């Protein structure tokens, strides 16, 4: 057996708080979040960057955490699903996913909601084509996507009525 590589220490900001962990340099950020930081909201669906269940926000961008090596998380600003709600107050998208039926089995939901958050940051009032394109990297096997689109639309309407 080859001499195992040393683990490294990585420091970053996760959900607004300083975080520090030890990991093999090429450990997946997905595993680090789930195992070292106990943030199990981010899910593994495929391990090949196809399903988006592992989507997180890294430095303001949507990325698949199964494709990011731990070493590259150094100094990054990371947001997972756990960082979306403000205490007990759900984000409008979270609320919409509950009432509009955007979540069925829920395994794609954390990644899907973060993708929707990212979409609305780019397009605050997206049309149907933009919604579909923005969520096209997140696979859902339960819903056929219809009620996910409706959830996004409902959240947009909520934001409009607040403005």
Partner 1 sequence: MEMRVIGKSVPRKEGREKVTGRARYVDDLSFPGMLHGVTVRSPAARGRIRAIHFEGELPWHEFTVVTAKDIPGKNCIALLIEDQPCLAVEFVNHPEEAIVLLAHPDKYLLEEARRCVRIEIEPLRAVFSIEDSMARKEIIWGQDNIFKSFDVEKGDVDRAWSGAEFVVEGVYETGAQEQLYIEPQGMIAQVNEAEGVTVWGSLQCPHYVHKALMILFGLPRERIRVVQTETGGGFGGKEEYPSMIAAHAALLARKSGRPVKIIYDRAEDMVATTKRHPSRTRHATAVTRDGKLLAMDIDFTVDGGAYETLSPVVLSRGTIHAAGPYACANVRIRSRAVATNAPPHGAFRGFGAPQSVFALERHFDRVAEIVGITPAEFRRRNFIRQGQTLAVGQVVKEKVDMNGLMERAFELSGYYAKRNLFTETNSDSSARAGTKRGIGFASFLHGAGFTGSGEEYLASEVAMEATADGTVHILAGSTEMGQGTNTIFAQIAAEALRLDCEQIRIVQPDTAYVPNSGPTVASRTAMIVGKLVETAAAGLLQLLRERGLLRDGYSAADFSRACCLYVAKHGALKSFVKYDHPRDLHWDDQKYSGDAYGAYAWAVYVAEVSVDARTAEVRVNDFVAVQEVGKVINPVLAAGQIEGGVAQGIGFALYENVVWQEGRMVNAQMTNYVMPTAMDLPAIRVYFEEIPYGRGPAGAKGIGELPLDGTAPAIANAIAHATGVDVRRIPITAESLLEMLEAAHA
Partner 2 sequence: MRAFLPAYEMETPRDLASALDCLASAPGVWQAFAGGTDLMVLLEAGKLPRKKFLNIWNLGELRGIVVSAEYVTLGALTTYAEVQRHEVLTREFPLLCRAAAATGSVATQNRGTLGGNIANASPAADSPPALIVYDAEIEMVSLSGARFLPYASFHTGYKRTNLQAGELIRAIRLPRVRARRKQYFRKVGTRRAQAISKICFAGVARVEAARIADVRIALGSVSPAVLRAVRAEEVLRGQRLGSLDLRGAQDALGAEIAPIDDMRSTARYRRSVARNLLAEFVETLVG
Interface residue list for partner 2 (CB under 8 A) = 2, 4-5, 24-28, 31, 47-50, 52, 55, 61-64, 66-69, 71-72, 74, 115, 118-119, 133-134, 136-139
Q: Which of 28, 100, 35 is nearest to 65 (CA)?
A: 28
Instruction: Return the range that interacts with partner 1 (CB under 8 A); candidates 46-54, 57-65, 67-75, 155-163.
Output: 46-54
CA pair distance 106, 89, nearest whole angstrom: 19
Q: Could you tell which of partner 2, partner 1, none binds residue 69, using a CB distance below 5 to 8 A set by kind?
A: partner 2
Task: Output 73 or 84, the one with its CB closest to partner 1.
Answer: 84
CA pair distance 104, 98, nearest whole angstrom: 9
List strands edge to edge, sheet with 8-14.
17-23, 8-14, 77-79, 55-58, 61-64
Q: How far is the CB of 12 from partner 2 (least distance, A)?
A: 14
CA 64 vs CA 29, 51, 125, 144: distances in Å: 9, 9, 24, 21
Residue 65 touching partner 1 (CB under 8 A): no
Q: Could you tell which of partner 1, partner 2, none binds residue 80, using a CB distance below 5 to 8 A set by kind?
A: partner 1
Q: What would the two tokens of residue 158 be?
A: 């909520």
Q: Pick from 65, 138, 155, 156: which binds partner 1 (CB under 8 A)?
A: 138
Phi, psi of 33 (to 5 degrees): -60, -45
Site residues for partner 1 per CB under 8 A: 1, 34, 39-48, 50-51, 53, 80-82, 84-85, 90, 94-95, 97-101, 103-110, 113, 131-133, 135-149
């Amino acid at each position: 057996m080859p001499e195992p590589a040393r683990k490294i220490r990585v420091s970053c900001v996760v959900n607004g708080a300083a975080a520090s962990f030890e990991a093999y340099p090429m450990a997946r950020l997905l595993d680090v979040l789930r195992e070292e930081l106990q943030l199990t909201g981010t899910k593994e669906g495929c391990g090949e960057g196809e399903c988006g269940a592992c989507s997180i926000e890294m430095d303001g961008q949507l990325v698949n955490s199964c494709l990011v090596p731990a070493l590259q998380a150094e100094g990054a600003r990371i947001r997972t699903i756990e960082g979306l709600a403000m205490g007990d107050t759900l984000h409008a998208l979270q609320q919409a996913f509950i009432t509009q039926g955007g979540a069925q089995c829920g395994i794609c939901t954390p990644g899907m909601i973060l993708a929707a958050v990212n979409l609305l940051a780019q397009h605050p009032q997206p049309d149907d084509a933009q919604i579909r394109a923005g969520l096209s990297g997140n696979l859902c096997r339960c819903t056929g996507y219809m009620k996910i689109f409706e959830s996004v639309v409902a959240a947009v309407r909520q934001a409009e009525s607040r403005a």
